[in-house]
Every structure is written in structure tokens, then in C-alpha cells.
């Protein structure tokens, strides 16, 4: 008995750091955030319980509606992009015979991933920027002067410009995920396909893609969760503007808190976002589990 | 016959490699333009955006480095503090879960896992108020603790599955030799776990180094400002213009890119682990 107790004590001692850190710096602010969603609160002199008022206001808030519309467009585009371009590049790389070339490209596509996201965002700001921006100069050079835009400054192009960052959208985790899936395909499957006289496109459609379906599902869920949270790009590039054309829910939350001192209202946005993401994550867990069974 | 087949294959391969090459060129085009333009003054960028042009203004780099060396040191300090938090807390917890059975084990396990579902920005506001109230505003600890703690659950999962794979006989032998659990942990488990510790270091270090939004709200002025915030504020004079900024972006990218080429394997496994397990 006492021996057991001593072992328990030891086990808990090893857990002290993680439990302390997570309780103080994760659970405490998390529950504060939920609690504060029901308050009108500016972190200074105003601090009043208002029930569901924040949520009611939120659902009537046209800006929040616009932010949700933007995030849906952004997420759908992000999803389509990451289901096609990196997969295309991965399939191509996978089929290169020359091992050295293959290695070179695989490594090469990873390199931009280690460049800080912030640098990439700022680099694209420069590419889009001004009438002498690189993109506008390029359009002029190929004779498409009429297509020149203040890309980040016009409501009709700003969201598109943010989606277009990272073109051709290959360098990223998604490329590596697809490649890992393709590398797991048993080699004799391809050999027997070759004997049966299947061409490359048929092989891709009937053999390769069905066999990497779990990777594709992973990409869908991960990309959705990443896309729903986007806000660094609009924060740095457009502050959500012009108007509300690039506002996202997370950015709206940030602005309500740090520009307007409406911490209670901002917390209610956080709660809504959390619920949406939680739902996505649970669906994700369910799908991943299902594919585990299939394997 | 054989020759024919070989010829056919190499033609298909040629198209294949050509396609990849085009994608590759487009991927690197922006980076190429950034590097080329980083040694120009503004007028040179406008006159000749696509190629090098004389004179080279390496002074852009000198000036950008002047503005960035302190923030880079700040970023190193913050990242190291954050990493110490992640690695220590997660490895100790993982050890406890692999070596012991104890009451509430499952509840504790799930309350750690649950946190993977809470994205960092959901707690941004309460965390900001909390850290400010605790006196961490504009300090290294204020910058380092939240992202360091944020990486703990994922690090814990990765380490736990690694520790489970360590053969049990190693522990038993050590115990017979009279080693206590703290000694087993520090002298046996930690040295054996270099692969997972470095995966976690890359994954967490990368996240902490690149954490923009938290750094933006919790820091002010130059005192502890990390490089990720500093580059967004870079400005050149009227001659230097964008050239100086771009030089700054190149400088800010170099530490991680250089590190990547020295330790490619842990980098790739670190990056992938973040997506697959998170």
C-alpha cells in the first residue's frame, strides 16, 4: 500500500510541470474566454454581465456576416488549391525515374516551407504593391496593361490576391503528405498494372488515388482547419479592407479586442469560432478513425 | 526493340521532368526576385525588375542587419525559453505515462489531448489580459511561455509513442542496478530519445520563432521585439526603398534555411509531425 502510494506520488511529480503549465496558461484563459463572452467588458472600467447580448448582436452584425462569407470563399479556394496543385506535383515527382533528380525536386519544394510565413506574406505584399509592383510590371511587359490593378487596394481583387499568395501553391506540408502516401504504394501493384497495359492516367485514377485516399482526407481536414483560422495575411496586407472585402472572423475578433477594446464581444466571436473548429475537428477524428479501420 | 522502349520511356520522362521544372521555377520565382532586388536601390528595381543591375548595393544588407540583429537575438532567446518549457514538461509527462499506472491516468491523458483542439487564437484575448496582469507584458517570458506551453500536448504525444518503444528490459536492468526513476529518466531515456527530442525541437522551435500575432500583442517597442515583428516594420530611405526591406527579409529567413540544410531529416519529420498528429 505505502509502496503503491510512493509510486503514485512519483508519477504525479513527473506530471507537475505539464499540469501546472496547461492549467494556468491554457485551461484558465480558455474558460475565462468563454465566461467573458457573456460580459460587456473593456478590461478596464466597464465590466457587466449581459447574458446572450453579445451573441445576439453578433448574429445581426453585417461585418461578421461579411467575414464569414469571406472565410467560406477563402476556405473553398484553399481546399481546391491544395487538393490539386500539390497532388499534381507529388504525382509528377513520384514518377521521375532518375533518383537524383527526384531527390533534388523533393528537397527543393520543401525549402520555401522553412522560410517564415511572415517573410512570404511581406514578399507578396511587395509583388502586388504599387503601380511599379513586380506583378504590374510583368503585366505591362506582356502587353496586358489593362489588367493592372492595385491588387490589395481594390475590393474586387483583394481577397483573390490573398488567395493567390504562394502561387503555384506547391511548397507546403500537403506536398509531403501526398508524397508519403504515394511512396507507400507497393511497387508490384504498378508492375502488374504495367503488364495489364494500363496507361499512366488510368493508373493514377484507378490505383494511385484510391490508395492515398487517407492522405487526401487528412489534407481536406487539415486544410479546412488551417483556412478557417486565417488572419495573419489580411492583418498584415489589408487590415480586412478595403471595406470588409478581406475581413475574416479571426481578424474581426482581433480588431474588436485590440482596436475597439470590446473584449467581451471579441470573446463571443472566439467562442463561435471555437465551436465551428471543434465540430470540424470531431468530424476529422471520426474520418481518420474510419480510414484506420479500412487499412 | 529494347532500345525502342528505352527511347519511349525517356521521352515521357522528359515531359514529366519538364512539367516539374516549370512548377519549380514558378515556386522559386518570387524568392529569386526578392534576392535580386535586395541589392538594388528603388530606381534600379523599377528600371530592371527581372535581373541583376549595377551597382550592387550591399549596403542594404548592412543597414538591414543593423536593424535586425537585436531582434534576431531576441527571437533566439524567446525560442530557447519556449523550447525548454516544451521539452521538459512534455518529456517528464511522457515518462510518467509510459512507466507508471496511477489513479486518474485516463482523465489526465484526455485533458492533455483535448487541448489539441483549442486553437491558439481562441484564447488570444484572455491570455493577453492574463499575461499582462501577471506582469509579463513586454518580457521574454511573456513572449515565450504561451507558445512554449501551446506545443506541450503535441510534444507529449510524440514523446509518449517514442518512449513506449524503448525496450522494458533496459528499465528493469537499471532498476536492479539501483537506479531510481529520476536517474533512469535523465541518464537513459533522454539520451536514447534524441530523435524524438530533435523532432519536437524543430517543430516547436519553428512554431515559436514564427509566432507573429502573439508577439505583436505582447511586445512593444524594441526591448524584446522578435525578428518576426521587426521585419514587418522595416523601412528604407527614399533611395533604398524596397531594396532594404527585401534584404531584411532575406536576413530573417537565413537562420532557419541554414539550419534546414544542416539537419534536413529532423526538419522534415518535425514539419510533417505537426500536420499529421495535430
- The span from the CA of B225 to the CA of B213, in Å, is 12
Cell of B87: 521539452
Best residue in B36, B64, B122, B266 for a mutation probing chain A (most A CBs within 10 Å): B122
Indicate whether B11 belongs to any domain.
no
DSSP helix/strand/coil, A48: strand
Q: Which of A91, A89, A92 is nearest to A212 (CA)?
A: A91
ipTM of the complex: 0.89
Q: Closest Cα of chain B to A64: distance in Å?
A: 16
Kindly list the residues from chain A whose CB atom is less than 8 angstroms away from the CB atom of residue B245: 122, 126
Q: In this predicted structure, what is the pLDDT of residue A290? A: 60
- The span from the CA of B92 to the CA of B36, in Å, is 48
Q: In this predicted structure, what is the pLDDT of residue B2? A: 46
Mean pLDDT of A256-268: 93
Q: In this predicted structure, what is the pLDDT of residue B3? A: 47
Q: In this predicted structure, what is the pLDDT of residue B171? A: 84
Question: Is some CB atom of chain B closer than 8 A to the CB atom of A113?
Answer: yes
CATH code of the domain in which B88 resides: 1.10.3720.10
Residue A222 has pLDDT above 80, yes or no: yes
DSSP helix/strand/coil, A130: coil
Kindly list the residues from chain A whose CB atom is less than 8 angstroms away from the CB atom of residue B275: 173, 177, 218, 222
Q: Cβ separation of A119 and B112 shorter than 8 Å?
A: no
Q: Closest Cα of chain A to B201: distance in Å?
A: 14
Question: Is some CB atom of chain A closer than 8 A to the CB atom of B49?
Answer: yes
Q: Cβ separation of A21 and B30 shorter than 8 Å?
A: no
Q: In this predicted structure, what is the pLDDT of residue A1? A: 55
Residues forming a β-bridge with A39: A49
Q: Closest Cα of chain B to A6: distance in Å?
A: 11
- Do A219 and A83 form a contact (C-beta atoms < 8 A)? yes
Q: At A291, is the pLDDT very low, low, confident or very high (cuts 50, 70, 90)?
A: low
Q: Cβ separation of A132 and B268 shorter than 8 Å?
A: no
CATH code of the domain in which A117 resides: 1.10.3720.10
Question: Is some CB atom of chain A closer than 8 A to the CB atom of B99?
Answer: yes
Q: Cβ separation of B28 and A95 shorter than 8 Å?
A: no
Tell me the HSE value of A264 on the side-chain side, using a 13 A CA sphere: 22
Indicate whether A32 belongs to any domain.
no
Cell of B133: 496582469
HEC states along B126-161?
HHHHHHHHCCCCCCHHHHHHHHHHHCHHHHHHHHHH
Say how many domains are in chain B. Answer: 1
Q: Which of B221, B264, B127 is nearest to A36 (CA)?
A: B127
Kindly list the residues from chain A whose CB atom is less than 8 angstroms away from the CB atom of residue B266: none
Indicate whether B167 belongs to any domain.
yes
- Do A111 and A171 form a contact (C-beta atoms < 8 A)? yes
DSSP helix/strand/coil, A54: helix
Question: Is some CB atom of chain B closer than 8 A to the CB atom of A11?
Answer: yes
Angle CA A71–B25–A140, to nearest 5: 75
Q: Closest Cα of chain B to A161: distance in Å?
A: 15
Of B13, B92, B145, the CB nearest to A96: B13
Say how many domains are in chain A. Answer: 1
Indicate whether A16 belongs to any domain.
no
Cell of A290: 474510419
Residues 130-189 of A with CB under 8 A from B: 132, 134, 137-138, 167-168, 170-171, 173, 176-177, 180
- Quote the domain boundaries for residue B94: 60-277
Mean pLDDT of A29-53: 89
Q: At A173, is the pLDDT very low, low, confident or very high (cuts 50, 70, 90)?
A: confident
Digit-by-digit pLDDT tens for chain B (278 residues) are 444 455 556 787 888 899 999 999 999 999 999 998 888 888 788 777 787 887 888 888 998 999 899 999 999 999 999 999 999 999 999 999 999 899 999 999 999 988 888 877 789 999 999 999 999 999 999 999 999 999 999 999 999 999 999 888 888 888 888 888 898 999 889 999 998 999 899 889 999 999 999 999 999 988 899 999 999 888 877 777 888 899 999 999 999 899 888 888 888 888 777 776 65
Q: Closest Cα of chain B to A186: distance in Å?
A: 21
Going by C-beta distance under 8 Å and a sequence separation of 6 or more, which residues neighbour residue A32? B126, B129, B130
Indicate whether B90 belongs to any domain.
yes
Q: In this predicted structure, what is the pLDDT of residue A204? A: 82
Cell of A173: 506540408
pLDDT tens digits, residue range A133-145?
888 888 888 888 8
Kindly list the residues from chain B whose CB atom is less than 8 angstroms away from the CB atom of residue A30: 118, 122-123, 126
Q: Cβ separation of A111 and B260 shorter than 8 Å?
A: yes
- Quote the domain boundaries for residue A256: 53-294
pLDDT tens digits, residue range B110-141?
999 888 888 777 899 999 999 999 999 999 99
Of B26, B156, B212, the CB nearest to A232: B212
Indicate whether A45 belongs to any domain.
no
Residue A49 has pLDDT above 70, yes or no: yes
Indicate whether A182 belongs to any domain.
yes
Mean pLDDT of A269-281: 88
Mean pLDDT of A28-43: 91
Residue A268 has pLDDT above 80, yes or no: yes
Q: In this predicted structure, what is the pLDDT of residue B9? A: 60
Cell of A115: 522560410
Of A22, A43, A93, the CB nearest to B112: A22
Q: Closest Cα of chain B to A42: distance in Å?
A: 11
Indicate whether B77 belongs to any domain.
yes
Q: Closest Cα of chain B to A238: distance in Å?
A: 13
- Do B200 and B158 form a contact (C-beta atoms < 8 A)? yes
- The span from the CA of A154 to the CA of B50, in Å, is 26
Residue of B nearest to A27 (CA): B115
Q: Cβ separation of B112 and A254 shorter than 8 Å?
A: no
Amino acid at each position: 500500500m505505502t509502496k503503491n502510494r510512493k509510486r503514485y506520488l512519483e508519477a504525479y511529480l513527473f506530471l507537475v510541470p505539464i499540469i501546472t503549465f496547461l492549467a494556468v496558461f491554457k485551461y484558465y484563459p480558455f474558460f475565462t474566454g468563454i465566461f467573458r463572452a457573456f460580459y460587456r467588458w473593456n478590461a478596464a472600467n466597464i465590466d457587466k454581465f449581459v447574458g446572450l447580448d453579445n451573441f445576439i448582436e453578433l448574429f445581426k452584425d453585417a461585418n461578421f456576416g461579411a467575414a464569414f462569407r469571406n472565410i467560406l470563399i477563402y476556405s473553398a479556394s484553399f481546399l481546391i488549391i491544395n487538393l490539386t496543385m500539390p497532388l499534381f506535383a507529388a504525382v509528377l515527382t513520384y514518377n521521375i525515374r532518375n533518383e537524383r533528380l527526384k531527390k533534388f525536386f523533393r528537397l527543393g519544394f520543401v525549402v520555401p516551407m522553412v522560410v517564415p510565413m511572415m517573410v512570404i506574406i511581406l514578399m507578396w505584399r511587395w509583388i502586388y504593391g504599387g503601380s511599379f509592383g513586380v506583378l504590374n510590371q510583368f503585366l505591362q511587359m506582356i502587353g496586358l496593361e489593362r489588367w493592372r490593378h492595385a491588387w490589395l487596394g481594390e475590393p474586387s481583387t483583394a481577397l483573390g490576391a490573398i488567395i493567390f499568395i504562394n502561387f503555384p501553391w506547391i511548397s507546403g506540408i500537403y506536398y509531403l503528405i501526398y508524397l508519403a502516401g504515394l511512396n507507400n504504394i507497393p511497387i508490384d501493384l504498378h508492375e502488374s498494372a504495367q503488364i495489364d497495359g494500363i496507361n499512366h492516367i488510368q493508373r493514377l485514377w484507378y490505383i494511385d488515388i484510391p490508395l492515398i485516399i487517407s492522405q487526401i482526407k487528412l489534407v481536406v481536414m487539415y486544410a479546412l482547419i488551417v483556412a478557417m483560422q486565417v488572419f495573419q495575411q489580411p492583418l498584415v496586407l489589408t487590415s480586412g479592407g478595403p471595406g470588409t472585402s478581406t475581413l475574416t472572423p479571426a481578424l474581426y475578433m482581433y480588431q474588436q479586442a485590440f482596436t475597439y477594446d470590446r473584449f467581451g464581444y471579441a470573446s463571443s466571436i472566439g467562442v463561435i469560432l471555437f465551436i465551428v473548429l471543434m465540430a470540424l475537428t470531431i468530424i476529422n477524428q471520426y474520418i481518420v478513425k474510419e480510414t484506420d479501420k479500412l487499412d | 526493340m529494347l532500345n525502342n522502349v528505352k527511347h519511349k520511356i525517356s521521352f515521357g520522362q522528359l515531359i514529366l521532368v519538364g512539367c516539374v521544372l516549370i512548377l519549380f521555377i514558378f515556386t522559386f520565382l518570387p524568392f529569386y526576385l526578392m534576392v535580386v532586388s535586395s541589392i538594388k536601390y528603388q530606381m534600379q528595381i523599377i528600371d530592371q525588375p527581372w535581373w541583376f543591375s549595377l551597382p550592387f548595393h550591399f549596403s542594404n544588407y548592412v543597414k538591414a542587419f543593423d536593424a535586425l540583429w537585436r531582434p534576431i537575438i531576441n527571437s533566439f532567446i524567446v525560442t530557447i525559453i519556449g523550447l525548454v518549457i516544451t521539452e521538459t514538461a512534455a518529456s517528464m509527462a511522457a515518462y510518467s505515462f509510459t512507466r507508471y499506472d496511477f489513479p486518474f491516468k485516463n482523465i489526465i491523458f484526455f485533458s492533455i489531448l483535448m487541448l489539441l483542439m483549442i486553437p491558439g487564437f481562441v484564447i488570444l484575448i484572455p491570455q493577453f489580459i492574463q499575461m499582462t496582469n501577471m506582469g509579463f507584458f513586454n518580457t521574454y517570458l511573456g513572449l515565450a511561455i504561451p507558445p512554449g506551453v501551446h506545443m506541450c500536448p503535441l510534444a507529449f504525444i510524440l514523446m509518449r509513442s517514442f518512449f513506449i518503444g524503448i525496450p522494458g528490459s533496459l528499465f528493469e536492468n537499471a532498476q536492479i542496478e539501483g537506479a531510481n526513476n529520476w536517474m533512469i529518466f535523465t541518464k537513459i531515456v533522454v539520451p536514447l530519445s534524441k530523435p524524438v527530442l530533435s523532432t519536437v525541437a524543430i517543430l516547436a522551435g519553428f512554431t515559436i520563432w514564427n509566432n507573429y500575432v502573439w508577439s505583436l500583442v505582447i511586445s512593444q517597442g524594441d526591448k524584446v521585439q522578435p525578428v518576426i515583428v521587426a521585419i514587418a516594420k522595416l523601412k528604407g530611405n527614399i533611395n533604398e526603398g524596397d531594396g532594404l526591406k527585401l534584404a531584411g527579409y532575406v536576413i530573417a529567413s537565413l537562420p532557419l534555411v541554414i539550419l534546414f540544410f544542416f539537419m534536413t531529416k529532423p526538419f522534415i519529420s518535425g514539419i510533417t509531425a505537426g500536420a499529421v498528429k495535430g
